[in-house]
């Protein structure tokens, strides 16, 4: 297949602003290339893929970034500014897409989804969030009624945010596992990884670390300074250790030394890349039973699932986390979330989209 991928319009690949979508796209590129597909990636200027490959054509677009939907009001109007990065990326993708089999869109926004109804090239969408916008959810519903195959989700729980979708296509996610080294370090610190923003619930992990009197290493981009300061004040001095945003290679080296990852999203997390990245390094995860992590973690085997927002329950599970066999964590990822497995699911899905589109355009 010849596939044109549209990246997120929130930030360049490698900036961290695009959250999990950045690594998801990079990992999928890796998996698709290994299967021999031809790829063009349309992305903001300065973007870097995890492994620079000569086999991928990166097309840079300049323009004004979109504001992320999870930080806007649910009923906000859709905004496209002049010099919009998003519309620039779509324009470029359509030009290149004329010679391709399909366009695969990663941006959670209104315009690319609307384009599904208005061009002949099939556009498939990997929806990266739960329902975060009234306008986008309504549009997905409209487009879905004509093109039921064009949307895929990372987890069943995420898809349940779109109740009009019957039998959702769930592709999970996957990562290049040779980039993650297994570490058998049961005595390390506690870890937390994610964008430092309210929907990620860092305060609950801080509560647990404080109660245990243990250090909590925090990796990720600070998206909300005042929120970060508030959390700092909740903790005794020395508990929170801000590690900043690291590239995957450095992140996995440090993350692998942790005795546990605490994962505390307050929203319907679509997947939870960081959960799988931790498991890939052998680090068990204690998380709320909510969103993707609720489907990924095997309670009692690769970590523990606490009742959503029950911080005390998180704390109790951390007291027994060393009972988890770290090898089971790595094994689960190898069997379920490699970039090869992810790419296979995506290819099967895209084939269905292409077939359905052909039958509609050339009945
Ligand atoms: N991440 C990173 N370096 C860091 C912290 C986080 O590269 O120091 C990446 C991490 O690898 C993951 C992403 O940030 O891919 C967070 O994705 P996740 O799906 O967990 O949450 P999202 O940000 O999409 O809500």
Residue 63 neighbours by CB distance under 10 Å: 17
**Confidence (pLDDT) at 50:** 82
**Confidence (pLDDT) at 256:** 98
User: To 5 degrees, how large is the angle CA 104–CA 67–CA 18?
Assistant: 50
Residue 22 Cα to ligand 1 midpoint, Å, equals 8
For ligand 1, what atom is nearest to the CA of residue 200?
Answer: 25
Q: Is the pLDDT of residue 266 over 90?
A: yes
**Which of 8, 19, 71 has most ligand 1 atoms within 8 Å of its beta carbon, as the pocket-test mutant?**
19
**Confidence (pLDDT) at 55:** 86
pLDDT band (50, 70, 90) for residue 345? very high
How far is residue 216's CA from residue 239's CA, in Å, rounded to a whole number? 6
Query: Which residues line ligand 1 at a C-beta cut-off of 6 Å?
Result: 16, 19-20, 23, 193-195, 219-220, 245-246, 248, 251, 271-274, 277
**Confidence (pLDDT) at 360:** 82
Residue 285, helix vs strand vs coil: strand
pLDDT tens readout for residues 165-216:
999 999 999 999 999 999 998 899 999 999 999 999 999 999 999 999 999 9
Return the exposure string of 141-180: e unless at least 16 CB atoms fall within 10 Å of the residue's CB, then b: eebbeebebbbbbbbebbbebbeebeebbbbbbbbbbebb
Look at ligand 1, atom 12, and give the residue with the nearest C-alpha. 20
Phi, psi of 225 (to 5 degrees): -60, -45
pLDDT tens readout for residues 20-36:
999 999 999 999 999 99
Q: Is the pLDDT of residue 363 over 80?
A: no
Class (C level, CATH) for 177-336: alpha beta
- Give strand pairing partners of 244: 219
Look at ligand 1, atom 21, and give the residue with the nearest C-alpha. 20
Look at ligand 1, atom 8, and give the residue with the nearest C-alpha. 245
Q: What is the rounded average pLDDT of the residues 7-32?
A: 96
**Which of 274, 287, 292 has most ligand 1 atoms within 8 Å of its beta carbon, as the pocket-test mutant?**
274
**Confidence (pLDDT) at 53:** 73
How far is residue 276's CA from residue 174's CA, in Å, rounded to a whole number? 8
pLDDT band (50, 70, 90) for residue 240? very high
For ligand 1, what atom is nearest to the CA of residue 270?
Answer: 19
For the domain bounded by 2-175+338-361, which CATH number is listed? 3.40.50.2000
How far is residue 222's CA from residue 196's CA, in Å, rounded to a whole number? 5
Q: Distances in Å between the alpha carbon of 248 and those of 146, 218, 328? A: 39, 15, 22
DSSP per-residue letters across 126-170: EE-SSS--HHHHHHHHHHHHH-TTSEEES-HHHHTTSTT-SS-EE
CA atoms within 13 A on the CB side of 204: 25
What's the mean per-residue pLDDT of the chain?
96
Residue 98 Cα to ligand 1 midpoint, Å, equals 33
For ligand 1, what atom is nearest to the CA of residue 21?
Answer: 24
pLDDT tens readout for residues 71-123:
999 999 999 999 999 999 999 999 999 999 999 999 999 999 999 999 999 99
**Confidence (pLDDT) at 362:** 72
Residue 232 Cα to ligand 1 midpoint, Å, equals 21
Q: Which of 2-16, 52-66, 71-85, 116-130 has the lowest mean pLDDT?
A: 52-66
For CA atoms 115, 116, 122, 125, give the dihedral sign: positive
pTM above 0.85, yes or no: yes
Q: What is the rounded average pLDDT of the residues 120-131?
A: 97
How far is residue 267's CA from residue 210's CA, in Å, rounded to a whole number? 23
How far is residue 315's CA from residue 317's CA, in Å, rounded to a whole number? 5
Q: What is the rounded average pLDDT of the residues 125-153?
A: 98
Look at ligand 1, atom 13, and give the residue with the nearest C-alpha. 20
Residue 249 neighbours by CB distance under 10 Å: 11
**Confidence (pLDDT) at 54:** 77
Look at ligand 1, atom 25, and give the residue with the nearest C-alpha. 19
Q: What is the rounded average pLDDT of the residues 44-62?
A: 90
Closest of 273, 278, 271 to residue 252, by C-alpha: 278
Q: What is the rounded average pLDDT of the residues 304-325?
A: 97
Residue 98 neighbours by CB distance under 10 Å: 10
**Confidence (pLDDT) at 254:** 98
Look at ligand 1, atom 23, and give the residue with the nearest C-alpha. 19
177-336: same fold as 2-175+338-361?
yes
Percent of all residues in the chain with a pLDDT value above 90, rounded to a whole number: 96
- Give strand pairing partners of 260: 190
Residue 6 Cα to ligand 1 midpoint, Å, equals 19
Q: What is the rounded average pLDDT of the residues 287-305?
A: 98
**Which of 23, 50, 158, 290 has most ligand 1 atoms within 8 Å of its beta carbon, as the pocket-test mutant?**
23
Q: Between β-strands 151-153 and 303-306, what pairing exists: parallel, antiparallel or unpaired? A: unpaired
> Domain residue spans in the chain?
2-175+338-361, 177-336
Residue 221 Cα to ligand 1 midpoint, Å, equals 9
pLDDT band (50, 70, 90) for residue 47? very high
């Amino acid at each position: 297949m010849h596939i044109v991928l549209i990246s997120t319009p929130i930030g360049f690949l490698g900036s961290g602003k695009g959250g999990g979508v950045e690594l998801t796209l990079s990992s999928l590129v890796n998996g698709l290339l290994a299967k021999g597909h031809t790829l063009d990636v349309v992305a903001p200027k300065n973007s870097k893929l995890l492994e620079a490959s000569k086999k991928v054509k990166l097309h840079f677009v300049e323009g004004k970034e979109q504001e992320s939907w999870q930080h806007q009001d649910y009923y906000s109007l859709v905004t496209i500014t002049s010099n919009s990065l998003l519309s620039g990326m779509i324009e470029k993708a359509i030009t290149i897409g004329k010679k391709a089999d399909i366009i695969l869109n990663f941006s959670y926004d209104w315009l690319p989804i609307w384009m599904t109804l208005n061009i002949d090239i099939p556009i498939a969408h990997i929806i990266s969030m739960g329902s975060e916008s009234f306008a986008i959810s309504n549009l997905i519903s409209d487009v879905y009624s004509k093109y039921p195959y064009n949307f895929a989700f990372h987890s069943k729980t995420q898809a349940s945010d779109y109740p009009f979708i019957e039998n959702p296509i769930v592709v999970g996610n996957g990562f290049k596992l040779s980039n993650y080294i297994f570490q058998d370090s049961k005595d390390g610190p506690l870890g937390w990884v994610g964008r430092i923003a309210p929907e990620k619930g860092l305060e609950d992990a801080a509560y647990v670390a404080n109660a245990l009197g243990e250090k909590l290493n925090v990796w990720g981009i600070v998206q909300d300074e005042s929120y970060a300061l508030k959390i700092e004040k909740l903790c005794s001095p020395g508990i929170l250790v801000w590690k900043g945003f690291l590239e995957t290679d450095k992140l996995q080296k440090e993350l692998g030394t942790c005795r546990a990852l605490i994962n505390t999203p307050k929203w319907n997390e679509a997947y939870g890349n960081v959960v799988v990245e931790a498991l890939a390094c052998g680090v068990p995860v204690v998380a709320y039973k909510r969103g993707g992590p609720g489907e990924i973690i095997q309670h009692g085997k690769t970590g523990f699932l606490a009742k959503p927002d029950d911080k005390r329950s998180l704390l109790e599970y951390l007291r027994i986390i060393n009972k988890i066999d770290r090898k089971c964590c790595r094994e689960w990822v190898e069997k379920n979330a490699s970039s090869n497995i992810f790419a296979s699911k995506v290819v099967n899905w895209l084939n269905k989209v292409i077939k359905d589109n052909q039958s509609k355009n050339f009945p």
